[in-house]
Chains A and B, each alone.
Chain A
Amino acid sequence: MTVNRTYPDEPAGTFPRPSRTITDKEGREIQIRATEPDDRDALVEMYTAFDPSDRAQGIPPVKEYAIDNWLDTVLAEDCLNVIAWDGEEAVGHSMLVPDNADAYELAIFVLHTYQGAGIGTELLKTLLGHVQEHDIETVWLTVERWNEPAIELYKKVGFEVCGAESFEIEMSIRLR
C-alpha cells in the first residue's frame, strides 16, 4: 500500500446527503440511503446475482460464505455504506472502509442490469455526501487501468489520479 499518498489541494464541492430518491435514465425510481442493519440479506442477494465479469480486484467474492465474510468487514461499525434500492431490491452498493493507515478506501458496485443508467454516479455522490457528514477529509481508491468507465466516473465527481505505477490506478479526493 502506498503510505505517502497524495490528495488534491482543493476540496471537491458539497455532495448530496442520504437519503434521496432519484429517477434513473430508464425512468426507475431509485432510493439511495445509508445502510441499516436489516439490509444485509438484500446485499447478499445482490452479490450472489453479481456478474462475475464486473468483479474488480478480487471483490465481490463469488462463493456465498466468502461474500458473507467480506460483508462482515465492509459493514463493520467504523465503515460507511450506502445502498441504491429499486423497491425491495438492492441494485447498487458503495462503501468506505478505514484502512490500517488512518485513511479511507472507497469502492462501489452496481448490479449489471442497472448499469449505464446514472445510478453509479448518484450512488457515489451520495456516499461522498455521507462521508462529509462524518467529517472525513480524504478518501482513496484503486481501479484497474482498463476500467475506463469507472475512471471517468471517479474523475467526474472530483477524484484525481495520485498513483499509476502499477496494474491499478490509485485515485484520491479531498472532501473538506
Chain B
Amino acid sequence: MNVLLGHDGSEGSWDAFHQTLERAAVAGDDVTIAIYDDTAVDATPEEIEQQVESELDAYEVDVEIRHIDGHVGGMLVEMVDSENFDRLVISGGKRSTLGKIRLGSVAEFVVLNSETPVTLVR
C-alpha cells in the first residue's frame, strides 16, 4: 500500500507516525510523510523533520518527506487524490477538559473531502 501521512508534530501525529511505520514495516507499505506547521505546536517543520529522521532509524522502511503549507487540508487531499496513494493517515481530535472530542480543522477537511480512504488516529 502507498500511504500518505500528515504530520504537524503534535502528540497525535507522533502516534499516527508510529502506527503507520509499524504497519509499513510488516506490510511493506511505501510511506510519504507530509510535514506542516500547526500554530498550536511548538516544533518548527524543520525540527519535526529532524525528529522524524532520527525516529525512522527504528524502522526499516523507505520514507519520502515533503513539506506543505498554505491550506494544509486542501494540499493533503490534492496530493492523496492526484498521486498514486491508497490511504491518507492523519491524527485529529482533542478532548476538552469536560471530555468532549472535537476534530481539528485539517482532520475535518480531509475526512469530508478526500476521495481516498482516510485513517483518523486519535
* A pairs with B: yes
Residues on A facing B (Cβ under 8 Å)? 1, 56-59, 61, 70, 73-74, 95, 97-100, 105, 107, 142, 166-168
Residues of chain B lying within 8 A (CB to CB) of residue A142: 96, 100, 102
- Asked if B97 and A59 make an inter-chain contact with CB atoms under 8 angstroms apart, the answer reads no
Residues in B65-109 with C-beta less than 8 Å from chain A? 94-103, 105, 108
A95/B95 contact (C-beta < 8 A), A166-B108, A167-B103, A167-B108 known: no
A166/B105 contact (C-beta < 8 A), A58-B95, A99-B96, A105-B96 known: yes
Residues on B facing A (Cβ under 8 Å)? 94-103, 105, 108
- Asked if A74 and B105 make an inter-chain contact with CB atoms under 8 angstroms apart, the answer reads no
- From B99, B103, B108, give the contact of A59 (CB < 8 A): B99
| Nearest chain B CB to A160 CB, angstrom units | 19
A6 to B94, CA, bound (A): 21
| Nearest chain A CB to B57 CB, angstrom units | 35
A59 to B95, CA, bound (A): 10
| Nearest chain B CB to A170 CB, angstrom units | 9
30 A-B pairs within 8 Å (CB atoms) are namely: A57-B102, A58-B95, A58-B99, A58-B100, A58-B101, A59-B100, A61-B99, A70-B99, A73-B98, A74-B98, A97-B96, A97-B98, A98-B97, A99-B96, A99-B97, A100-B97, A105-B96, A105-B97, A105-B98, A105-B100, A107-B99, A107-B100, A142-B96, A142-B100, A166-B102, A166-B105, A166-B108, A167-B102, A167-B108, A168-B102
A155 to B95, CA, bound (A): 24
A31 to B113, CA, bound (A): 47
Residues of chain B lying within 8 A (CB to CB) of residue A70: 99
Residues of chain A lying within 8 A (CB to CB) of residue B94: 1
- Asked if A73 and B103 make an inter-chain contact with CB atoms under 8 angstroms apart, the answer reads no
- Asked if B108 and A107 make an inter-chain contact with CB atoms under 8 angstroms apart, the answer reads no
A72 to B50, CA, bound (A): 39
Residues of chain B lying within 8 A (CB to CB) of residue A73: 97-99
A99/B102 contact (C-beta < 8 A), A166-B108, A167-B108 known: no
| Nearest chain A CB to B8 CB, angstrom units | 16
Residues of chain A lying within 8 A (CB to CB) of residue B99: 58-59, 61, 70, 73-74, 107
- From B97, B101, B108, give the contact of A57 (CB < 8 A): B101
Determine the residue in chain B with the shortest Cβ distance to A99.
Answer: B97
Residues of chain A lying within 8 A (CB to CB) of residue B95: 58
A57 to B98, CA, bound (A): 11
- From A57, A98, A100, A166, give the contact of B100 (CB < 8 A): A57
| Nearest chain A CB to B120 CB, angstrom units | 12
A142 to B99, CA, bound (A): 11
